[in-house]
Amino acid sequence: MKIGILGSGDVGLKLADSFIATGHSVKIGTRSPEKVASWTAKHGNRASAGSFADAASFGEIIMLATLWEGTPSALKLAGAKNFSGKVVVDVTNPLDFSKGAPPGLAVGHTDSGGETVQRLLPDARVVKAFNIVGNPQMFKPDFSGGPPTMFICGNDGCAKKSVTETLDAFGWETVDIGGIEGSRLLEPLAMLWIMYYFKTGNGNHAFKLLRK
């Protein structure tokens, strides 16, 4: 499949590598495509870069991996029509670093980043996923306790099925927690991951749902 990735940071590049490793073609969207020239050169003809609009238009699935405060601007630059009917995986966390680190959440309780993205892209099928783990663990997470759990949410069942297929290929167990308002739980869960990161100084952790 053709995957458009909005964002050229650690998350965008990690997801890009992961999709290429699982047989897909990727276009990274950024305001400065020259920044990722060495990445595209490394991957040959299944990797390319362009504007946010180029990546959104290219992608059959679009991964949203932008800094929270730049997200509305990135989506505007990408052009709402390029998202119409498509699966958009919202990996962002609405982090507020205004008081330094560790960050707080810029939105919560009665709203969320995931819902904000769905409102900004009313014709897209937004699924919140991948936001509750650090990027080094996003692909083939290797833990002695087995595959960790990725909680996802979104309003469209087919879109969540598609994201679950990606998560299967990337080595995750998936638990669907319902509509996009579930982001009100998944974004604070990311905060828990982040607080533990600051406490331990490493990102070698992920969540797992245990059942009897």
Judged by the rule CB under 6 A, the positions of this chain that interact with ligand NAP are 7-12, 30-32, 65-68, 70, 73-74, 91-93, 95, 131, 134-135
**Single-letter code of the amino acid located at 174:** T
In the complex with ligand NAP, which residue's Cβ is closer, 91 or 124? 91
CB of 173 to ligand NAP, least distance (A): 18
CB of 144 to ligand NAP, least distance (A): 22
Query: Is there a contact between 152 and 207 (Cβ–Cβ < 8 Å)?
Result: no
Classify 46 as helix, strand or coil: helix
Query: Is there a contact between 164 and 152 (Cβ–Cβ < 8 Å)?
Result: yes
In the complex with ligand NAP, which residue's Cβ is closer, 37 or 158? 37
CB of 212 to ligand NAP, least distance (A): 30
Using alpha carbons only, what angle is made at residue 80 by residues 169 and 185, rounded to the nearest 5 degrees? 55
Closest C-alpha among 58, 85, 63, 86 to residue 9: 63
3-state helix, strand, coil in the chain (%, to 5): 45, 20, 35
Cα atoms in the Cβ-side hemisphere of radius 13 Å centred on 52? 19
CB of 208 to ligand NAP, least distance (A): 17
Query: Is there a contact between 26 and 46 (Cβ–Cβ < 8 Å)?
Result: yes
CB of 129 to ligand NAP, least distance (A): 10
Closest C-alpha among 70, 61, 56 to residue 6: 56
In the complex with ligand NAP, which residue's Cβ is closer, 105 or 159? 105
Query: Is there a contact between 103 and 68 (Cβ–Cβ < 8 Å)?
Result: no
